[in-house]
């Protein structure tokens, strides 16, 4: 039997060290949670972004409406800041002004085709001879439009080289202008910023 004198006192707990980090090491779950960020929808400078919280549905809708409004204004006024990449830059703006200042056969093809289609539907059974002439005229118009596109593309390329140089013209610039010339003037985006005959310098 041991006496109370022989019993060793229990070791006292060592005081926590005040050196080092001064805080317990976080667990892996806590560390991953601290580094998580909401995906998408949070813009810099917004209260939700500052708090690290995702945007509400109302805030997302407001931001979409604001972006859409800026895009529509850019399309109407020619503002480069909010335009798509394909429409940005002084070269593309000059091409739009070059095309919009001139008339082209291509911009009337859509309306002419609809009118011709309606006439063909009426005369196909009653006046087959007239229908044959209309079809021939339609093919002639198509060939004329193709010829106009080729001539216009050459003139545009030559004017671009003289204005900006071969290296700054960019790929697809001539095609960009020709595709615009095939659209009706009112349907063009960005909207024309020059009047007919107001040729760019």
pLDDT of residue 168: 85
Query: In sequence order, which ranges of the chain are alpha helices (DSSP H)?
Result: 28-35, 47-51, 57-77, 90-100, 109-126, 128-164, 166-169, 173-181
pLDDT tens for 77-107 read 888 888 888 999 999 999 999 999 999 999 9
Tell me the C-alpha distance between 16 and 13, whole Å.
Answer: 9
68 & 133 share domain = no
Which tokens hold the place of 72? Answer: 């529509």
For 5, 7, 103, the CA distances from 148, given in Å and listed in that order, are 116, 112, 11
The reply to whether 36 falls in a domain is: no
Range of the domain at 61: 55-85
Q: Is the same domain home to 125 and 153?
A: yes
pTM, full prediction: 0.67
What pLDDT shows up at residue 80? 85
pLDDT in tens, the chain (201 residues): 445 455 555 555 555 544 555 666 767 776 666 655 544 444 444 555 555 678 888 888 888 888 888 888 888 888 888 888 899 999 999 999 999 999 999 999 888 888 888 888 888 888 888 888 888 988 999 999 999 999 999 999 999 999 999 888 888 999 999 999 999 999 999 999 999 999 998
* pLDDT for 192: 95
Q: What is the pLDDT of residue 1?
A: 47
Q: Is residue 46 classed as helix, strand or coil in its secondary structure?
A: coil
- Both 112 and 78 in one domain: the answer is no
Whether residue 121 is found in the same domain as residue 79: no
Asked if residue 113 belongs to a domain, the reply is yes
Residue 24 phi, psi (nearest 5): -70, 150
Task: Output the pLDDT for position 172.
Answer: 93
pLDDT at residue 116 in the model? 87
How many structural domains does the chain have? 2
Same domain, yes or no, for 108 and 175?
yes
Instruction: Identify whether the C-beta of residue 169 lies closer than 8 Å to the C-beta of residue 161.
Output: yes
Predicted pLDDT at 23: 63
Let me know whether 126 and 72 are in one domain: no
Q: Answer yes or no: do 71 and 127 share one domain.
A: no
The verdict on 71 and 130 lying in the same domain is no
Same domain? 78 vs 121: no
| Residue 144: per-residue pLDDT | 94
121 and 65 within one domain: no
Residue 111 lies in a domain: yes
């Amino acid at each position: 039997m041991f006496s109370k004198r022989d019993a060793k006192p229990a070791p006292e707990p060592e005081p926590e060290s005040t050196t080092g980090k001064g805080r317990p090491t976080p667990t892996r779950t806590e560390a991953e949670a601290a580094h998580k960020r909401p995906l998408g929808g949070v813009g810099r400078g917004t209260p939700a972004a500052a708090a690290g919280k995702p945007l509400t549905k109302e805030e997302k809708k407001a931001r979409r409406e604001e972006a859409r409004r800026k895009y529509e204004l850019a399309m109407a006024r020619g503002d480069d800041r909010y335009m798509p990449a394909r429409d940005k830059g002084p070269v593309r703006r000059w091409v739009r002004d070059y095309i919009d200042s001139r008339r082209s056969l291509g911009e009337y093809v859509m309306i002419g085709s609809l009118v011709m289609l309606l006439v063909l539907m009426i005369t196909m059974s009653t006046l087959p001879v007239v229908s044959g002439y209309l079809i021939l005229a339609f093919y002639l118009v198509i060939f004329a439009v193709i010829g106009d596109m080729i001539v216009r593309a050459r003139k545009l390329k030559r004017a671009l080289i003289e204005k900006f140089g071969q290296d700054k013209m960019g790929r697809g610039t001539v095609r960009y202008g020709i595709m615009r010339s095939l659209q009706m003037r009112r349907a063009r985006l960005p909207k024309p910023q020059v009047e007919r005959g107001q040729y760019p310098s």
